[in-house]
Amino acid sequence: MISTRGDAHKLYLKFKKTVENGQPLHKLKELKEIEQIKHFYLTIDTSTLEKMYYRILKEKNGTGMIPVFVSAGPWLLFLFSKQLQEFLFKNGSMPFVIFISIYLTILVISVILHFREKS
């Protein structure tokens, strides 16, 4: 099933399906992995955990390069619009259609990958 929702929802659906099939949840690899993560963090001292926490907050709140790409791309094209129009429309509209298709495809894929990663 293809879903645009986050990983937490996919995990919920897997847990729900497991329970509906009458299987125990504690045998799922996802829960075993969570137990390993919990055990790992219990072995780390508080000072180091605090530093890790602040690093995670920094990463979580960071905007990354994709939003910059999304907002800066059109401005860059706008700056060179006259030269771009001369180049793209020199041989008809086909190069323009190809350029826009490639640009929009890269833009959409980049945004989807960026926000999927954040979820």
How many angstroms separate the CA atoms of 59 and 61, rounded? 6
What's the whole-number average pLDDT of the chain? 78
Q: Which residues contact 86 (CB under 8 A, 6 or more apart)?
A: none
Residue 4: pLDDT above 60?
Answer: no
If you average pLDDT over each of 13-27, 54-68, 94-108, which comes out highest?
13-27
How many angstroms separate the CA atoms of 109 and 119, rounded? 15
> What are the phi and psi torsion angles at 5 (to 5°)?
-80, 170
H, E, C per residue of 77-106: HHHCHHHHHHHHCCCCCHHHHHHHHHHHHH
pLDDT at 48: 94
pLDDT at 20: 93
Q: Which DSSP state fits 87?
A: H
